[in-house]
């Protein structure tokens, strides 16, 4: 079990009660990852991590409680475009690690960028791996102990492996826009509305059709636009649209907003579809509701 703490008050409380339990400390290196404030968590105003300027406070708590710090961790956010930024933050982590003599690992978090559209840039993992490996091995020699180098590449591994499918319920032509309305909304895929993230949209019912411009919207009674003025092969009612990069932070962020059901999940393995999560029903929506009798017994 990994115990990680990113708050000075919590660190002192835990160290006082459980000094022998190994603890990993999350550091805020004050490095801005990517360009979206919603997914950058290493800046100075972030709620995550203990500021590098508070290292003396951490050392005081560790000394007073005699607690065991076995790991140092950072996560600056997602969509790091330049590996030099990542390497810069890593140097801050190395400098922090020097203050702790019994570490077992250093966790560099993640933030690796995946491509969201044709020609999009992504993190050069090979170059980052070569440069950071050399620097990490140098640090271990100086530290006097071989440490474990840890990463958390979840999104990088699964984002492109997942697709979200939705059926077109209706087409609507206005004075300036052609809307393609699907049987879904931000209750299923909130990232475009929440983060402004881009998900390529492909009409898999008409892969060879001519392209037209569509704005793809959902069925929620609020603005739930998946994509504005996208070039998509001509769409007809009943067509199935495929949203790419749905393998990370998509189903896990679904909700029953507007009393809508969560969709099914299917695993494609060895050229065969396997249902791994069934589609919700009305009974699933109300199963946790409790019937209360408010009738008054007048005797």
- CB 269, CB 196: distance < 8 Å: no
Kindly state the tokens that stand for 85.
């930024």
Give burial (CB, 10 Å; 0-12/13-18/19+) of 232.
buried
CA 196 to chain centre: 13
How far is it, in rounded angstroms, from Cα 90 to Cα 180? Answer: 45
* Residue 166: strand pairing partners: 241
Kindly state the tokens that stand for 198.
């881009």
DSSP string over 109-135: ---B----STT-----HHHHHHHHHHH
Q: Identify the H or E element spanning 226.
A: strand 225-233
- CB 115, CB 121: distance < 8 Å: yes
How far is it, in rounded angstroms, from Cα 24 to Cα 15? Answer: 12
Q: Show which residues are catalytic.
A: 221
- CB 130, CB 173: distance < 8 Å: no
Q: What is the DSSP letter of 40?
A: B
How far is it, in rounded angstroms, from Cα 279 to Cα 299? Answer: 47
CA 84 to chain centre: 22
């Amino acid at each position: 079990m990994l115990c990680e703490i990113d708050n000075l008050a919590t660190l002192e409380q835990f160290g006082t009660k459980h000094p022998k339990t190994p603890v990993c400390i999350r550091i805020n290196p004050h490095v801005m990852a990517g360009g979206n404030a919603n997914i950058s968590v290493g800046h100075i105003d972030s709620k995550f991590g203990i500021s590098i300027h508070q290292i003396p406070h951490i050392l005081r708590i560790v000394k007073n409680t005699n607690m065991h710090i076995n790991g140092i961790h950072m996560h600056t956010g997602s969509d790091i475009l330049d590996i030099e930024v990542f390497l810069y933050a890593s140097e801050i982590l190395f400098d922090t690690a020097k203050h702790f003599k019994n570490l077992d690992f250093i966790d560099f978090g993640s933030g690796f960028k995946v491509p969201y559209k044709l020609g999009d840039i992504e993190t050069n993992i090979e170059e980052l791996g070569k440069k950071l490996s050399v620097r990490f091995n140098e640090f271990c020699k100086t530290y006097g102990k071989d440490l474990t180098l840890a990463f958390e590449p979840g999104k990088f591994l699964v984002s492109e492996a997942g697709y979200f499918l939705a059926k077109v319920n209706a087409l609507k032509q206005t004075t300036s826009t052609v809307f393609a309305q699907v049987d879904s909304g931000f209750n299923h895929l909130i990232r475009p509305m929440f983060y402004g993230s881009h998900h390529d949209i492909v009409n898999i019912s008409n892969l060879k059709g001519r392209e037209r411009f569509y704005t793809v919207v959902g069925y929620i009674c609020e603005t739930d636009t998946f994509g504005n003025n996208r070039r998509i092969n001509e769409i007809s009612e009943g067509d199935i649209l495929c949203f790419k990069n749905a393998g990370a932070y998509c189903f896990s962020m679904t909700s029953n907003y507007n009393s809508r059901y969560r969709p099914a999940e299917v695993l494609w393995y060895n050229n065969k579809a396997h249902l791994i999560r069934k589609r919700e029903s009305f009974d699933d929506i109300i199963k946790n509701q409790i019937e209360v009798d408010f009738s008054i017994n007048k005797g």
